[in-house]
């Protein structure tokens, strides 16, 4: 005899993730959300909540929720009814970032200054500085560097996927110089989310990309990978004084498309662009590369304009464009681009999505200043 592993009653605070795993293995699984416990057969008042083996349940409203699990199997079919009682939280949740769990920027002109590196700082020190900058009501700035650099953060609760509404907002430092075509300074960051399936409080479960407006663009490259090389101490700079560049061969990079090039160094940012708290000689990132969004209007390298993408990217639109800075968990897709239903998100990851040099204004690098759960009043 093997127990099913599913109790009759569960109690959980709202906006907390409940994950149930039946011990019986069947051919298929049906989790029905019922109007009441007394219902036995399918009816118009029942909703097929999930067909996955595991049930992931997260609800922002209190109440009692009745479920029926059907394990479909020719030899040993199983039906089990249970309920989930959702209570109010004992301590009111904050709508703001609670923890920064990862800060792994790529090289860039604001690295080691945003947040500031001080001699002796370790990874943990910089992680704490990143958290101090953007957690709670703070609206400091952290830079993610060039393409692939990322930050992962969490709230003090699960962000619930509210049907037909955006779920959270991320702020950066984008601005329009021309509101007519939404161009100016836009450095789009791709957003990913994850559920803490193994319940260990760490962002080590699968992440899912929120598919923005450029996800299916013909110039978007999925499964892109790029490696940056630390500049040797013996390196001889190759300046371009006309375009305010002190070194056009500063940070060597190569990608999985058979290409290589350099991140430039400019006269306005003279510090080391490679994260100084790391000892690695290379940094490799993988993900989706968005199309270039910057154009030199002058043709001479001195008037770069970055155009914002329509929706779905951090640091792409000004913060007062709330709808365009907001994100919907319903946009989540698998690595193969297939839509996936996620009831909530426990971790949010943002990484620089464009790999482009823009002359004297430097590389495109996403900056993050703030995030907020839209399900909780500010």
| Integer angstrom CA distances of residue 273 from 109, 167, 240, 245, 252 | 6, 34, 18, 14, 12
Structure tokens at 4: 């099913």
Provide the residue range defining the domain that includes 32: 9-87
Is the model's pLDDT at 40 over the cut of 50? Answer: no
**Torsion 120-123-126-128 (CA) sign:** negative
In angstroms, rounded to a whole number, what is the distance separating the alpha carbons of residues 201 and 209?
A: 20
Q: Which residues are within 8 A (CB) of 196 and not within 5 positions of it... i.e. 6 or more apart?
A: 17, 202, 203, 205, 346, 347
Burial environment of residue 307 by CB neighbours within 10 A (0 to 12, 13 to 18, 19 or more): middle
Question: What confidence tens digit (pLDDT) does each residue in 286-308 have?
Answer: 999 999 999 998 887 778 999 99
73 and 112 share one domain? no
Question: What confidence tens digit (pLDDT) does each residue in 101-147 have?
Answer: 999 999 999 999 999 999 999 999 999 999 999 999 999 999 999 99
167 and 265 share one domain? yes
Q: Is the peptide bond before 251 cis (omega within 30 degrees of 0)?
A: no
82 and 164 share one domain? no
67 and 113 share one domain? no
Please report the pLDDT score of residue 35 as a whole number: 78
Average pLDDT for the chain: 94
**Torsion 369-370-371-374 (CA) sign:** negative
Left, alpha or beta for 315 (phi > 0: left; psi -120 to 50: alpha)? left
161 contacts 375 by C-beta, under 8 angstroms: no
In angstroms, rounded to a whole number, what is the distance separating the alpha carbons of residues 12 and 32?
A: 19
77 and 125 share one domain? no
| Integer angstrom CA distances of residue 288 from 146, 188, 222, 355 | 13, 12, 4, 10
**Which CATH number covers residue 54?**
2.60.40.10
What is the pairing mode between strands 245-255 and 150-154?
unpaired
Structure tokens at 328: 């919907």
Please report the pLDDT score of residue 302 as a whole number: 76
Q: Please report whether residue 206 resides in a domain.
A: yes
Q: For the chain, how many structural domains are there in total?
A: 2
The pLDDT confidence band at residue 37, using thresholds 50, 70 and 90, is low
Q: Please report whether residue 2 resides in a domain.
A: no
Sheet holding 168-171, edge to edge: 326-327, 168-171, 370-373
Q: Please report whether residue 1 resides in a domain.
A: no
Q: Please report whether residue 3 resides in a domain.
A: no
Q: Count of CB atoms within 10 A of residue 185's CB? A: 22
What's the whole-number mean pLDDT along residues 4-24?
A: 95
In angstroms, rounded to a whole number, what is the distance separating the alpha carbons of residues 5 and 271?
A: 57
103 and 237 share one domain? yes
Cα–chain-centroid distance for residue 290? 15
| Integer angstrom CA distances of residue 117 from 12, 30, 146, 150, 156 | 41, 52, 18, 17, 27
Q: Read off the pTM.
A: 0.94
Burial environment of residue 159 by CB neighbours within 10 A (0 to 12, 13 to 18, 19 or more): buried
Question: What confidence tens digit (pLDDT) does each residue in 149-162 have?
Answer: 999 999 999 999 99
Q: Which of 35 and 131 is assigned the larger pLDDT?
A: 131
Please report the pLDDT score of residue 36 as a whole number: 65
């Amino acid at each position: 005899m093997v127990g099913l592993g599913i109790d009759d009653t569960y109690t959980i605070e709202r906006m907390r993730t409940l994950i149930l795993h039946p011990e019986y293995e069947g051919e298929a699984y049906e989790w029905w959300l019922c109007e009441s416990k007394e219902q036995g057969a399918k009816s118009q008042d029942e909703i097929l909540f999930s067909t996955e083996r595991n049930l992931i349940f997260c609800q922002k409203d209190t109440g009692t929720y009745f479920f029926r699990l059907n394990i479909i199997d020719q030899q040993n079919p199983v039906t089990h009814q249970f309920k989930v009682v959702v209570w109010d939280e004992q301590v009111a949740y904050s709508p703001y970032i609670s923890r920064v769990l990862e800060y792994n920027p790529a090289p860039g002109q604001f690295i080691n200054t945003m947040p500031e590196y001080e001699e002796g700082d370790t990874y943990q020190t910089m992680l704490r500085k990143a958290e101090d900058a953007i957690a709670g009501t703070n609206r400091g700035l952290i830079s993610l560097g060039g393409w692939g650099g990322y930050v992962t953060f969490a709230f003090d609760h699960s962000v619930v996927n509210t049907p037909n509404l955006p779920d959270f907002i991320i702020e950066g430092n984008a601005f329009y110089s021309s509101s007519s075509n939404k161009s100016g300074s836009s450095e789009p960051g791709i957003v990913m989310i994850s559920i803490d399936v193994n319940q260990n409080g760490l962002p080590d479960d699968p992440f899912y990309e929120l598919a923005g407006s450029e996800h299916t663009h013909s110039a978007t490259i999925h499964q892109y990978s790029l490696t940056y090389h630390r500049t040797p101490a013996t390196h001889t700079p190759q300046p371009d004084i006309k375009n305010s560049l002190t070194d056009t061969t500063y940070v060597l990079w190569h990608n999985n498309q058979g290409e290589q090039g350099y991140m430039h160094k400019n006269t306005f940012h003279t510090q080391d662009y490679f994260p100084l708290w790391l000892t690695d000689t290379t940094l490799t990132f993988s993900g989706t590369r968005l199309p270039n969004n910057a154009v030199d209007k002058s043709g001479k390298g001195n008037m770069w304009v970055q155009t914002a993408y329509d929706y779905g990217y951090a640091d792409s639109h000004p913060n007062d464009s709330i709808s365009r800075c907001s994100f919907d968990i319903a946009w989540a897709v698998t690595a193969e681009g297939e839509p996936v239903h996620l009831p909530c998100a426990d971790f949010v990851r943002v990484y620089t999505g464009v790999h482009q040099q823009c002359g004297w204004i430097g590389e495109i690098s996403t900056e993050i200043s703030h995030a907020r759960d839209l399900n909780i009043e500010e």
